[in-house]
Amino acid sequence: MPVSQRFLALVGFQLGQFVDCPEVRSLVVYVTQQGETGQPSLLPVGHWPPDERALPAVDSVSRLRVPAEQRRWLPLRDGQRLLGALQVEAARNPWPEPLAQRLQAVALALTEALRLDLEGGELRQRLSEREEQLGLLLHQLRNPLTALRTFGQLLLRRLGPDHNDRSLVQGLLAEERQINRYVEAISALVHPEGRLAAPLSPQPLLLPPLLSGPEGQPLAGLLEPLLQRAAATATLQGREWHGPRTLPDWSGDSGSVAEILANLLENAFRYSAPGAAVGLHWASDAGGLQLTVWDGGPGIPEAEREAIFGRGVRGTRSQDLPGTGLGLALGRDLARSLGGELALVVPPRAVAEALPEQGNAFRLSLPTPSVPQR
């Protein structure tokens, strides 16, 4: 319903005051709503006298639009925009002047209230969308921050305790921790409970255009730093890393593909069992490219394998670990926007014979990029 409960309460109050008017038989308040065909229709949101009757919507072919001696319509109009209408059925026609003035006053009050209600709803919608986008960007910002920390810790190991530059690296790591605290503070302001609020509209959870594309960019150039980051993380965590020997020859919206893989790798290192191997496997055929991030830990329970792709949803084994549950939702939405798909395959051996018999595999399927016509 396109109006708030507060507006519905006001409708009930305004219509209920006609209980002392025997001339008024029926009052119905409608609001304008776009139909599936693109043509506007009038949706009933309140009526008097109150009863259990079900009122139909009024479209361009409704019989309620046909003129009737005892039925009149008072438009609820904001300038040229028709917000709704007040339908009045009265025993007398024309109306007595006091009744006409009273009904016009109610129509004006409902018009102003409906205008404010709709504007408030639009503002809440925009605020929700901005908060959702900000939460997404904060989620993605954690990936490069994690990479900086990982590379800094590895460099600190290699420098040794007496190296002259050790204090510089320690300073970089301290700054990374401070930035991460700012990120967590902003995240707490946006989503105090640590979960992404349910969106007001079922729009895909996509990155801003500036973070995707450009079209036709080779994927290999963006994969190399991701693989370096993964190898460094595996070294710090004391687990095996199995990267590909070669890189795929694929070009397209590689920025979005890299964001998907970054989230999958982050999840693998964060949520798989300690010591479990992690890897990236790819294969291509006439149908396109498949990139699979896998781990050798316990398989995700079957009951959760589809649910974890929902916004803000995480598996039972990761409930006590930090995270917002956005990575897989973003990955699947981005994959589908590219004409591909992101799916969980258990075990990894089902993807390729060379992969483990135990664990989880998140397979990103991408179509073959179309070749521009000359």
Nearest to 138 by CA among 196, 97, 217: 196
pLDDT value, residue 131: 81
Instruction: Quote the tokens at residue 367.
Output: 């179509």
CB 59 within 8 A of CB 41: yes
pLDDT (tens digit per residue) in 190-216: 766 544 444 444 566 666 665 555 677
37 DSSP assignment: T
Looking up tokens 């006409």, which residue turns up? Answer: 100
Is the model's pLDDT at 15 over the cut of 50? yes
Residue 122 or 199, more confident: 122
Nearest to 274 by CA among 233, 305, 314: 233
Question: Of the given ranges (32-46, 147-161, 290-304, 316-330), which has the lowest mean pLDDT?
Answer: 316-330
Surface-to-core class of residue 211, CB atoms within 10 Å of its CB (0-12 exposed, 13-18 middle, 19+ buried)? middle
Indicate the domain borders of the chain: 5-123, 131-190, 209-367
Cα 340 from chain centre: 18
Q: What's domain 5-123's superfamily in CATH?
A: GAF domain (3.30.450.40)
Looking up tokens 């919608």, which residue turns up? Answer: 125
Q: Measured between alpha carbons, how far is 33 from 270 in angstroms, rounded to an integer?
A: 46
Q: What's domain 209-367's superfamily in CATH?
A: Histidine kinase-like ATPase, C-terminal domain (3.30.565.10)
| Rounded (10°) CA dihedral 90, 94, 98, 103 | 50
Instruction: Quote the tokens at residue 36.
Output: 């599936």
The verdict on pTM exceeding 0.75 is no
In 238-359, DSSP assigns E strands to 241-242, 251-252, 278-285, 288-295, 341-345
Residue 253 or 184, more confident: 253
- State the average pLDDT for the chain: 84
pLDDT value, residue 143: 82
- In sequence order, the 6+-apart residues with CB closer than 8 A to the CB of 135 are 187, 190, 191, 196, 324, 326
291 DSSP assignment: E
Nearest to 369 by CA among 205, 264, 270, 250: 250
Instruction: Quote the tokens at residue 78.
Output: 């904001």
CB 334 within 8 A of CB 277: no
pLDDT (tens digit per residue) in 325-356: 678 988 999 999 999 999 999 999 999 999 99
Is the model's pLDDT at 374 over the cut of 50? no
Mean pLDDT, to the nearest integer, of 2-31? 91
Within 10 angstroms of residue 85's Cβ, the number of other Cβ atoms is: 22
